[in-house]
């Protein structure tokens, strides 16, 4: 596990942060949406599943729904340690393919931005991405765990060449349900303060829309308007994959705020018979309402 911090501007002392977020997801040209995402006052996250139509959706749904309680701080025991929550979500993947061997090849990326008492932490594995827009400057705060990124870092490939490389989607780290998966998780404390805008997205956006266009569109209107504009730009690309975008504005929390709405999109918010079957076999307690109808809601799932 790689830990670190991004420093430079300085955190406002005593500011308690909260996120105003929005999320959109579309299958694009694919027959199935394997992306899952969540947006809430303390968390935005994207998971991009791999391993076949059913497996990818199951893996991303498991991880995103497992992390979703972090969005309100109501995750129960261990919720103050997001790495522990990610590890537990990864264990759900192993439990699912143990019960359903046909899912054994499934895996998922994860990029999450989590608010805690000290600010915001990035949790990242795979090739989904996290960005911060501050003072008009766009910064990619995640590093792709891909072959092409390793070649870029080694000076063997340029970013322009990487965009068209035949193995640009080959990841060397993801959540597979293996014991050592979380060791590859990047955990980085970010230099973020009120007024900044955050985004996490699947590679269906970042592989199609240039960074300059992402910066321009991310600065557009409200988080919901920016997310929709970015999705539409990827759809006009033309698209090559599922497209999921989560955008959030950072602000200071105020006293006695009403409960915020938690939004899940993509596979995590769909009713899918195959996914429901797998989750019912491994989920400790009620399965999330977005996946199985007529089940009790978890506290974090607010209409």
Report if residue 176 sits inside a domain: yes
Q: Residue 29 is part of a domain; what is its CATH number?
A: 3.60.40.10
In 3D space, the residue among 38, 208, 196, 82 whose CA is nearest the CA of residue 131 turns out to be 196
pLDDT of residue 11: 46
pLDDT of residue 6: 57
pLDDT of residue 164: 78
Distances (CA, A) of 43 to 34, 49, 79, 244, 251: 20, 19, 12, 16, 13
Report if residue 297 sits inside a domain: no
Report if residue 295 sits inside a domain: no
Domain count, the chain: 1
Place of tokens 């994959």: 241
- 71: containing domain: 2-282
Residues of the chain with pLDDT under 50: 7-8, 10-13, 77, 286-303
Report if residue 247 sits inside a domain: yes
The pLDDT tens digits of the residues spanning 49-63 come to 987 666 899 999 999
Q: What is the DSSP string of 115-180?
A: EETTEEEEEEESS-EEEEEETTEEEE-S---BHHHHHHHTTSS-HHHHHT-TTTT-BS--B-S-TT
Report if residue 79 sits inside a domain: yes
With 0-12 CB in 10 A as exposed, 13-18 as middle and 19+ as buried, what is 79? Answer: middle
Question: Using CA atoms, how far apart are residues 22 and 39, in angstroms rounded to an integer?
Answer: 6
Report if residue 301 sits inside a domain: no
pLDDT of residue 64: 95
Report if residue 302 sits inside a domain: no
Q: What is the DSSP string of 263-301?
A: EEEEGGGS--HHHHHHHHHH-SSSPPTTTSTTSPPPTT-
Structure tokens at 241: 């994959």
Each residue of 161-194: b (16+ CB within 10 Å) or e? ebeebeebbebebbbbbeeebbebbbbbbbbbbe
Report if residue 289 sits inside a domain: no
Question: Using CA atoms, how far apart are residues 22 and 282, in angstroms rounded to an integer?
Answer: 29
Distances (CA, A) of 162 to 13, 138, 159, 168, 243: 40, 20, 5, 6, 19
Q: What is the CA radius of gyration of the chain?
A: 18
């Amino acid at each position: 596990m790689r830990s670190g911090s991004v420093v430079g501007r300085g955190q406002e002392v005593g500011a308690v942060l909260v996120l105003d977020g929005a999320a959109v997801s579309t299958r694009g040209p694919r027959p199935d949406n394997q992306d899952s995402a969540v947006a809430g006052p303390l968390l935005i996250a994207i998971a991009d599943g791999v391993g076949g139509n059913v497996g990818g959706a199951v893996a991303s749904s498991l991880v995103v729904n497992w992390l979703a309680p972090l969005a309100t701080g109501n995750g129960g025991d261990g919720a103050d340690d997001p790495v522990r929550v990610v590890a537990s979500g990864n264990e759900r993947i192993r439990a699912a393919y143990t019960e359903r061997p046909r899912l054994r090849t499934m895996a998922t990326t994860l990029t999450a931005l989590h608010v805690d008492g000290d600010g915001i932490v990035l949790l990242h594995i795979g090739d989904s991405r996290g960005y911060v827009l501050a003072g008009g400057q766009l910064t990619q705060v995640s590093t792709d765990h891909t072959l092409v990124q390793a070649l870029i870092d080694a000076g063997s490939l340029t970013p322009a060449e990487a965009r068209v490389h035949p193995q640009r989607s080959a990841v060397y780290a993801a959540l597979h349900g293996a014991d050592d998966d979380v060791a590859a998780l990047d955990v980085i404390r970010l230099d973020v303060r009120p007024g900044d805008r955050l985004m996490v997205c699947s590679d269906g956006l970042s592989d199609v829309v240039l960074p300059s266009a992402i910066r321009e569109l991310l600065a557009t209107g409200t988080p919901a308007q920016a997310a929709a504009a970015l999705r539409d730009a990827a759809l006009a690309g033309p698209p090559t994959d599922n497209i999921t975008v989560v955008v959030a504005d950072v602000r200071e929390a105020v006293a006695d705020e009403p409960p915020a709405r938690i939004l899940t999109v993509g596979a995590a918010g769909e009713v899918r018979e195959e996914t429901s079957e797998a989750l019912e076999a491994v989920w400790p307690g009620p399965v999330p309402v977005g996946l199985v109808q007529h089940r009790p809601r978890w506290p974090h799932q607010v209409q």
